[in-house]
Amino acid sequence: MEKTVPEPLLVATDLYKIFPLAATWFARRQLLQAVTGVSLSLLAGETLGLVGESGCGKSTLGRLLLALMPPTRGEVRFAGQNLWKLPKDRLRQLRQKMQIVFQDPYASLNPRLTIRHILEEPYIIHKLGTKQQRLDWCEKLLHDVGLPSEALHRYPHEFSGGQRQRLGIARALALSPELIVADEPVSALDVSVQAQILNLFNSLKEKMGLTYLFISHDLSVISHMSDRIAVMYLGRLMEVAPRQRFCHRGLHPYTEALLEAAPDADPGRRLPAPRLKGDPPSPLQVPSGCPFHPRCPEAEPRCRDTFPEFRQVGPHHWLSCHLR
Amino acid sequence: MSDLSSPLLNVRDLKTSFHTPAGLAPAVNGVTFSLQSGEILGLVGESGCGKTVTALSILRLLPEHLSRQSGQIWFQGRDLMTLKPAEMLQIRGNRIGMIFQEPMTALNPVLTIGDQISEVLRLHRGLKKTAALSEAARGLARVGVADPERRLRQYPHQLSGGLRQRALIAMALACEPQLVIADEPTTALDVTIQAQILALLSRLQTQLRLALLLISHNLGVVAQITDRVAVMYAGIIVEAAPTPKLFARPRHPYTRGLLASVPRMNFQDNPENLQAIPGQPPTLGELPAGCPFQPRCPQASVVCSQSPPWIQVAHDHGVCCWLWQDGRGGESHHGEDRA
């Protein structure tokens, strides 16, 4: 860790994303608060793990950071440039530097295109290289992700889940990006194949100096991959801290509950009494104050009234809780 | 495997194949295990290894024109395999309860929760409608549902995932079965809800002295609540042992590989590379001859092209692997589990 202080590659400030749901015969127009007031920075060369339960806004946040959708409020700066203030062609150029790997390798590859077509497309869109160069690049991409170059002439259905995820990664690597958002990239894979893909992510990061936002609901995966970890609940960041900080006490009550609930493959640790009662509330009806207060075992009256400021409580350790 | 006093469920050489255009594809290829009353047995394996087909075969839920089944399934002194469909109806949902993975698809969306739980009671216990409904309310209360009368009148889409899974558990337990088969009961749920459901299952299991067959791909879930674990790979059980033993001293190369490939929740030490198992599980129609794990096994040798024997390395620990034929697991020849 004795590196010089790395520059933030990406800085998000006070991001909001609110989806208006259309009124139907049965329901009034409603607002879905997917992301609420998130500020976050990604340092060049780090892996930031983003963990949270389904519907907490992890994927929406990932897409906002990549400028795949405009935020309702707030801004995203990549390498110092405010993404939504850039002219369109500049933004398109910058997109080469920021790529995404999706969760479901069955749904994210077009079944009617050959692998060559899929991998070549980014180069064609950005008007890079001659035909021969592009072919060479595609072969190199396959090599980088551990697939044979014969794969070029095949279709996605001829590959297993793990191989398809390798293809998804190869496509993301095509334009030599600096930042990759990996949105649950191993949740659809079998346990024995999952490890291959996690190792691949790590070796590529080392080889190419990539920066990852690694989104997962699985704390074991997050603890394995991340340098820093961000915990999200109902659209808000609850806690951001370096990985090692998570083995000590004094974490956000939600983080503590999450850590305790996560099943670990260790029969020495038997089932603890569940700390949290009830379900996470719907993002259509976010509770007042701290969104976690209805389930928090330590909640006090003030938790219901005001949202606790997201503040620094230790070196590189930020959280949002009245009680910590 | 160890036969103590007569087990509640005793599955012998269960084989299930499916008719496919390419011929018979074996999904379960000779599975043998037993389950004592009051015991939780975990059946772990990756997708497609035959866990779910094993469960469906025990309940005889697979359509006969699509599949072929052989072997014996002894349950309370009767071989379920020989029962007539009408006799099976008396057992399913009554003596053996089933909890499915996806609570949204396992429940009927156009019937209320109350209709669905009381149906079981009316069918098997002959209760009248109101009696069945009040019994259903008791059942919901037992699985920790607050305000059960209101929930009885609701439809599945009005409940959260956790509540739906509780309703499904209440339904499975309605007739106080001796055996419950839970197929990935928490896979569709968030971790905090998963913790609640696992705690509930383990409380009910102790309270009602249930035998529970828990099917899961999640080694963490299995480690936390089971007494014994059987590991499945490509249609066979490759290893079975008491849970602490299996995790501490796995003997089959696949079990070892599986345990080494799972990231542990560890925030302290710097992570090392995971030891991935090369390749991927075989597909049904293309099973290799002999040991199905052989193409991916770091310790495979010539004998592995013949079907491996079941070897009892301890009275309660069995493994299906040639390595253990000499009782040493081949450790004198090879380094300890290098992947």
- Per-residue pLDDT tens over the stretch B267-286: 988 888 899 898 888 887 78
d(CA B167, CA B139): 9
pLDDT tier for residue A145 given thresholds of 50, 70 and 90: very high
| Residue of chain A minimizing CA distance to B261 | A195
Contacts with A225 from chain B: Cβ below 8 Å: 263, 271
CB contact under 8 A, A265 and B280: no
Nearest alpha carbon to residue A263 among B217, B277, B232, B250: B217
CB contact under 8 A, A190 and B218: no
The average pLDDT across A262-266 equals 83
Q: What is the SS3 assignment for chain A?
A: CCCCCCCEEEEEEEEEEEEEECCCCCCCCEEEEEEEEEEEEEECCCEEEEECCCCCCHHHHHHHHCCCCCCCEEEEEECCEEHHHCCHHHHHHHHCCEEEECCCCCCCCCCCCCHHHHHHHHHHHCCCCCHHHHHHHHHHHHHHCCCCHHHHHCCHHHCCHHHHHHHHHHHHHCCCCCEEEEECCCCCCCHHHHHHHHHHHHHHHHHHCCEEEEEECCHHHHHHHCCEEEEEECCEEEEEEEHHHHHCCCCCHHHHHHHHHCCCCCCCCCCCCCCCCCCCCCCCCCCCCCCCCCCCCCCCHHHHHCCCCCEEEECCEEECCCCC
User: Whole-prediction pTM value?
Assistant: 0.89
d(CA A52, CA A262): 12
Distance separating the N- and C-terminal Cα atoms of chain B? 28
Contacts with B202 from chain A: Cβ below 8 Å: 271
Q: What is the pLDDT of residue A6?
A: 61
- What does the pLDDT look like over B89-100, one tens digit per residue? 999 999 999 998
Burial label for B74, CB within 10 Å (0-12, 13-18, 19+), is middle
Closest approach of A199 to chain B, Cα-based (Å): 6
Contacts with B194 from chain A: Cβ below 8 Å: 261, 263
pLDDT tier for residue B338 given thresholds of 50, 70 and 90: very low
CB contact under 8 A, A195 and B263: yes
Mean of the per-residue pLDDT values of chain A: 92
Q: What are the backbone dihedrals phi and psi of residue B88, each rounded to the nearest 5 degrees, phi first?
A: -60, -35
CB contact under 8 A, A217 and B247: no
The average pLDDT across A89-97 equals 94
Question: Is residue B334's pLDDT more than 90?
Answer: no
Minimal Cβ distance to B273: which of A161, A199, A219: A199
Question: Is residue A142's pLDDT more than 60?
Answer: yes
